[in-house]
Amino acid sequence: MIDSDVITCDLTVIGAGMAGMAAAVFAADTGLSIVQIGGDSEIGFASGLFDLLGIYPVNDRRQWNDPWAGIESLIRDHSQHPYARLKTEDIQTAFQILLSFLGDGGLPYSRHLNRNVTIMTPMGTLKTTYCVPQTMWSGVEALDKKPSCLFLDIKGLKGFSARLLAARLHDNWPKLRTARISFPGTGAWGEVHPEHLANALIIKQNRKKLAKKILPHVKDARIVGLPAVLGLYQAQKVVAHLTELIGVPVFEIPTMPPSIPGLRLKEVFERGLREKRPHYFTKKRVLEISQRSGDMFEVNIGNQTKGRTILSKGVILATGRFIGGGLHADRRRIRETILDLPVHQPGSRNKWHREDFLDPRGHLVNQAGLEIDDAFRPLDKNGRPAFSSLFAAGSILAHQDWKRTKSGVGIAVATAFGAVKSFVHLCR
């Protein structure tokens, strides 16, 4: 500390989405001092599922059982893809560190090391993913084995229909039944919200009341699926208790955003990083970044006027694309919003989108972003690192279409690991 308005640290992380949070975890794991700056995190809108690589090539809609083989195929074809900057062992290590962090925080995840899994979505479709919250794992297994199963609706809960799920899955899962129950204490409510239900289930007595509502419908069901609202904190404990009370396994089914699994992630990140990352500014934005002599960055943050100055050896941009605010599109071009770094983009606006909105090839604007070197440093207009100790991670990176390849969390986590590793190697 220099004074009350100046903070010194090893690394400044800009962004509080998955890439920003993962970067903070990896930096803390190496013993770096960190300052993190981020607005309202988009993590609360996440499904809680961790994709690594599900589909490639996009045109063929090829689904990969082995995501690592899929990544090898992708980088053979696209040497500029962010995954091509990393060794497979680095991506595996990144996931191991992150999953251990979440598990230590009371949010365990389940996976098969070398293959994807299939999980049902709230629309009754099937999705390929890599890691799922442990509270959903029994549902992954049930989808595979198809035992006698009960899906439950909760009266007044919008965006989730057990009947819709059952109707779309019934041909391949004939032993599906559905029922609708009212959540204890909400009988007269016209609408209930996921946060209210999740918070109520923190209390043991409410779990007992819910189990009494469920029991008459169980009958011959060997497993019960409910919308993912089973506790905002200690969800695994809530699921285990309901399983004990009902007498058959209970699992959660993903819901529409904003989702409780996303809020769980946000809470565990913030709680787990609180001591490791003592300076976290959620209500400030970056006003200006400059580099002093000696390669120290000066990052001024505030609202309309400067409130704090951060001096750091390095900076990681994990600001996302358009929704996150890392990129902004006007009528002429796409620009990076903090340093006005060059953005890889189609030559003219009329090439951003294809004529068919649902074109299986996707739209070229989805490949826009920052170009980087092998150390994850953004490049200037001459193709050289813009700064020796500025790094970028996550969806702001160019040459990837994470939505269509089902690789969003994988790219966020892997590139955050790569950026932190490069900082340690080059700058510490």
**CATH code given to domain 122-253:** 3.40.50.1860
β-pairing, 109-111 vs 131-133, is: antiparallel
The span from the CA of 85 to the CA of 393, in Å, is 12
The span from the CA of 342 to the CA of 47, in Å, is 32
Q: Tell me which of 331 and 372 has the higher pLDDT.
A: 372
How much is the average pLDDT of 161-183?
Answer: 93
The span from the CA of 281 to the CA of 186, in Å, is 37
Q: What is the pLDDT of residues 233-260, one digit of tens each?
A: 889 999 999 999 999 999 999 998 889 9
Share of the chain above pLDDT 90, in %: 77
pLDDT class of 37 with cuts at 50, 70, 90:
very high
pLDDT of residue 4: 65
The answer to which of 24-28, 47-51, 344-348 has the lowest mean pLDDT is 344-348
For residue 96, is it left (φ>0), alpha (ψ between -120 and 50) or beta? alpha
User: Does 2 score more than 50 pLDDT?
Assistant: no
pLDDT of residue 54: 96
The span from the CA of 196 to the CA of 144, in Å, is 32
Q: Tell me which of 304 and 75 has the higher pLDDT.
A: 75
User: Does 190 score more than 90 pLDDT?
Assistant: no
Q: In what helix (H) or strand (E) does residue 415 lie, and over which residues does it extend?
A: helix 408-427
Burial class (CB in 10 A: 0-12, 13-18, 19+), 1: exposed
pLDDT of residue 427: 78
Cα dist from 311 to 9, 15, 37, 292, 340, whole Å: 6, 17, 13, 9, 20
Share of the chain above pLDDT 70, in %: 97
The span from the CA of 114 to the CA of 91, in Å, is 12
pLDDT class of 188 with cuts at 50, 70, 90:
low
User: Does 396 score more than 80 pLDDT?
Assistant: yes
Instruction: Report the candidate in 88, 43, 70 with the shortest Cα–Cα distance to residue 414.
Output: 88
User: Domain locations in the chain?
Assistant: 6-106+264-427, 122-253
pLDDT of residue 360: 75
Predicted model pTM: 0.94
The answer to which of 43-52, 157-166, 286-295 has the lowest mean pLDDT is 286-295
User: Does 48 score more than 90 pLDDT?
Assistant: yes
Tokens linked to 120: 């049902």
Q: What is the pLDDT of residues 89-135, one digit of tens each?
A: 999 999 999 999 999 999 999 999 999 999 999 888 999 999 999 99
The span from the CA of 413 to the CA of 306, in Å, is 31
The span from the CA of 250 to the CA of 106, in Å, is 18
Q: What is the pLDDT of residues 256-293, one digit of tens each?
A: 888 999 999 999 999 999 988 889 998 888 999 998 76
Q: Which fold has domain 6-106+264-427?
A: FAD/NAD(P)-binding domain (3.50.50)
Tokens linked to 179: 């029922």
Q: What is the pLDDT of residues 69-81, one digit of tens each?
A: 999 999 999 999 9
User: Does 306 score more than 80 pLDDT?
Assistant: no
Q: Are 333 and 341 contacting, i.e. CB atoms less than 8 angstroms apart?
A: no
pLDDT of residue 388: 92
User: Does 1 score more than 50 pLDDT?
Assistant: no
